[in-house]
A and B are shown apart, each in its own frame.
Chain A
Amino acid sequence: MNLEFSPEEVAFRAEVRAFIEENYPEELKDMGSREDLTRDQFLAWHKVLGKKGWAAPAWPEKYGGTGWTSTQRYIWSEENARVDAMMPLPFGVSMVAPVIYTFGNEEQKARYLPKILSGEEWWCQGYSEPGAGSDLASLKTTAVRDGDHYVINGQKTWTTLAQHADWGFFLCRTDPNAAKPQEGISFILVDMNTPGIEVRPIITIDGGHEVNEVWLTDVRVPVENRVGEENQGWTYAKFLLAHERSGIAGVARSKRGIERLRDIASTELLEGEPLIKDDSFARKISQLEIDLTALEFTELRTLARESEGKGPGPESSILKVKGTEIQQRLTELTLEAVGSYGAPYFRGFPEDGSNEFPIGPDYAHHAGPNYFNFRKTSIYGGSNEIQRNIITKMILGL
């Protein structure tokens, strides 16, 4: 056991750091945790990485992955977190793509993967429904075979950034008479410009428009857009969820967040002294940082196991639960640190439309909305209670 980086890894860090410094878009620095970016802003870094061949380090090399070791990937995420980079969104690169290259046919791989890699096509996820949240298998959206097409009817919800999406991957019921709810579901790729699709915004408690309802009425989709076998979609959906969990710890980003929190607490005053000198506040930061260290080493242990060829297993549920608890605690402490200036609401103000928000320090503007927004993290990707159910079943065997 040792924590040393090899000379090659040290050189790799220098290389990626230099690349990020030279190429990361200036206007996006420290904007990575914001959800109110334009489509172009979301895609700016992705497109640079696409050209460089670094947009999807985790993919197999033959589809455009980088072939990096798990340690290199760890270094890569740390270096991006230093500038709080807006990384490629997960829906294409880390969610649908692994399903396509694992279960899709050659035509599908050739058609979809290159444009996911380049950032040319934006993907969204059609999983949850009003009546199917944690109990995802109870979904009701149907896809009925009509010649060479499926005709899809139903409603999806919580569809993140669907307002920008070119494509969506949808779970639809293709066999309503299957014995179990998990059977009879298919995994279908849908062009979001197909007639019959309506995307309606959902405004969340932070005031942002991040998620949507997607209504599907007689949407005709070619049968060749189905990935894998008909009625086997649940298997692919579960595979995808395990992949989704492994990237969700967000260690490097939370480290950066703690640095930022320390900066804020060094600027804010309490009785004329920096807030960070207050024992009770300083210890809250310490606790958070200690918990993050534990998570970091748990992730490193998981990566080490993965690099021995063991894929992400139920342990990744720990990363999801602890990672999101820490992210939430970070937004909570940041809001606490900014004090009263957490109150002013910047959206739509000032009314002259200028970008300058004149009230309070810059670092306070998003503290409230970020805190509100991050309550989502313990709900999405399989709620933290569902993660505990997974560990109960898969690890404790109860």
Chain B
Amino acid sequence: MDFNFTEEQTMIRDSLARLIREQYDFDTRMGVVKSESGWRPEMWAQFAELGLLMAPFSEEDGGLGGDPIDSMVVMEEFGKGLVVEPFVPSVVCAGGFLKHAGTAAQKEEHLQAIMGGASTFAFAYAEPRGRYNLADLETTAKKDGSGYVLNGHKSVVIGAPWADKLVVTARTGGDRRDAGGISVFIVDKGADGVTTRDYPTVDGRRASEVYLENVSVGAGALIGAEGEGLPLIEQVVDEATAATCAEAVGAMGVAHQMTVEYSRQRKQFGTPIGKFQVLQHRMVDMFMEHEQSISMTYMATLKLGEDAVERKKAASAAKVRIGQSGRFVGQESIQIHGGMGMTEELAVGHYFKRLTMIDSEFGNVDHHMRRYTELSATDLKAAAE
């Protein structure tokens, strides 16, 4: 067992931390969030230049030969800086699909563009009536000659306003919620029949409702085998979940630090409020939640390569813990900041909002608690047989 970071990972962390410190301070971020586009393509280009976007890909694929630990390192720093740019949708999700199941031609066309920052992807998997069930799809893809025609409505597609391409999950067979009959496609956002309604999210990012109306794609748009996409989707979503947990860890750490610092400065009854034991113990609880979240994020990230049941249980366990810890740390940060915590002007509230929204990304506490429990039952059955 080894819990050390490699030299390369430490270098990524340090250079990214410096870049965020120098060019992603809170006021700058707020300006970007309120700007028309809501992100900075030139920042994305800098991330590409640092090699972040190619870090988790193998050298064969043209990457730096890293693994999910690299994504964890990047996303923890993103969390600390409340970075809005779409590393998880584009690199972890779209890049993940291509890495696991892309053909040589698909990698050549799309993965190179993702790693170089020339192209950004969004991951259109959720639907208005599907909640967190990845198989609950009403979007269809009907065979049409050698290609497919897609119809459906994808909801809250994070980063879609900035993307030029989408990864779309759709049903090529089976009934709604069946495990079989699900396929994964790359869809050009500019293709005929794709319309979007773009909007800001409460935590400072941008998303779209994506409508697909008789959108034609070629055979080369299909990633992996037709009708057998669910295991692939689950794998990628578990990877995205682990990366999102790392982001939460970064955000929680900063929210906690800010709160401790504030409690040192803020005086009431003639004394810094950090001298009150009732607040001290709550800040200790925040510290412990943060530490447990770090542990869970390591655990889930390190288990991404294990067999499916072990991997899923690890990802769900981490997401449960991070959802609960994120809520606790977020809420207590606001509470201990008092009225100031309620103001838009202070950064802490924005960490709270990001932590809140992370719970609903890729499945909330209840969803993952259910999934973990069902997997434990499967495990027991297997052990009994």
Q: Is B58 an interface residue (CB 8 A)?
A: no
The listed residue (A276, A315, A397) touching B377 by CB distance below 8 A is: A276
B281 near A388 (CB under 8 angstroms)? yes
Q: Is B2 an interface residue (CB 8 A)?
A: yes
Contacts of B293 in A (CB 8 A): 294
Distance in Å from the Cβ of A9 to the closest Cβ of chain B? 8
Q: Is A266 an interface residue (CB 8 A)?
A: yes
B373 near A297 (CB under 8 angstroms)? no
A71 near B1 (CB under 8 angstroms)? yes
CA distance A298 to B369 in the complex (A): 21
Q: Is B355 an interface residue (CB 8 A)?
A: no
Closest to B371 in A: A286
The listed residue (A2, A262, A286, A300) touching B369 by CB distance below 8 A is: A286
User: Taking A1-B69, A297-B296, A321-B288 as contacts, is the C-beta distance between A398 and B2 under 8 angstroms?
Assistant: no
Distance in Å from the Cβ of A109 to the closest Cβ of chain B? 33
User: Taking A1-B298, A396-B280 as contacts, is the C-beta distance between A291 and B321 under 8 angstroms?
Assistant: yes
Q: Is A293 an interface residue (CB 8 A)?
A: yes
A298 near B292 (CB under 8 angstroms)? yes
B264 near A266 (CB under 8 angstroms)? no
Contacts of A304 in B (CB 8 A): 1-4
CA distance A283 to B366 in the complex (A): 10
CA distance A296 to B317 in the complex (A): 13
The listed residue (B295, B299, B301, B377) touching A282 by CB distance below 8 A is: B377
Q: Is B274 an interface residue (CB 8 A)?
A: yes
User: Taking A286-B376, A295-B292, A298-B292 as contacts, is the C-beta distance between A1 and B2 under 8 angstroms?
Assistant: yes
CA distance A5 to B2 in the complex (A): 9
Q: Is A4 an interface residue (CB 8 A)?
A: yes
Contacts of B302 in A (CB 8 A): 1-3
CA distance A293 to B315 in the complex (A): 12
Contacts of A300 in B (CB 8 A): 1, 3, 295
Contact with B along A361-398 (1 / 0, CB 8 A): 00000000000000000000000010011011001111
Which B1-52 residues have a C-beta within 8 angstroms of A?
Answer: 1-5
A282 near B292 (CB under 8 angstroms)? no
CA distance A397 to B283 in the complex (A): 11
Which B178-214 residues have a C-beta within 8 angstroms of A?
Answer: none
Contacts of B115 in A (CB 8 A): none
The listed residue (B5, B264, B295, B380) touching A1 by CB distance below 8 A is: B5
Which A150-164 residues have a C-beta within 8 angstroms of B?
Answer: none
Contacts of A397 in B (CB 8 A): 260
Contacts of B288 in A (CB 8 A): 318, 321-322, 391
A392 near B280 (CB under 8 angstroms)? yes
Q: Is B132 an interface residue (CB 8 A)?
A: no
A297 near B299 (CB under 8 angstroms)? yes
Distance in Å from the Cβ of B341 to the closest Cβ of chain A? 18
Q: Is B372 an interface residue (CB 8 A)?
A: yes
Which B328-343 residues have a C-beta within 8 angstroms of A?
Answer: none
Contact with B along A278-298 (1 / 0, CB 8 A): 010011011101110111111
Q: Is A200 an interface residue (CB 8 A)?
A: no
Q: Is B169 an interface residue (CB 8 A)?
A: no
B373 near A286 (CB under 8 angstroms)? yes
Which B290-311 residues have a C-beta within 8 angstroms of A?
Answer: 291-296, 298-299, 301-303
CA distance A315 to B288 in the complex (A): 9
Distance in Å from the Cβ of B340 to the closest Cβ of chain A? 18
CA distance A278 to B280 in the complex (A): 39
A392 near B298 (CB under 8 angstroms)? no
Contacts of B301 in A (CB 8 A): 1
Contacts of A398 in B (CB 8 A): 260, 263-264, 274-275, 280, 283
Which B275-293 residues have a C-beta within 8 angstroms of A?
Answer: 275, 277, 280-281, 283-285, 287-288, 291-293
Q: Is B320 an interface residue (CB 8 A)?
A: yes
Closest to B379 in A: A262
The listed residue (A282, A293, A385) touching B317 by CB distance below 8 A is: A293
Closest to A387 in B: B284
Q: Which residues of A contact B (CB under 8 A)?
A: 1-5, 71, 262, 266, 276-277, 279, 282-283, 285-287, 289-291, 293-298, 300-301, 304, 315, 318, 321-322, 385, 388-389, 391-392, 395-398
| The 6 nearest A-B residue pairs measured at CB | A297-B295, A294-B292, A392-B280, A388-B284, A304-B3, A398-B274
What are 6 A-B contacts defined by CB distance under 8 Å? A1-B301, A290-B296, A291-B292, A294-B296, A297-B299, A398-B260
New A-B pairs, 9, CB < 8 Å, besides A282-B376, A294-B293, A296-B295: A1-B5, A279-B373, A283-B373, A289-B317, A291-B292, A301-B295, A304-B4, A392-B281, A396-B284
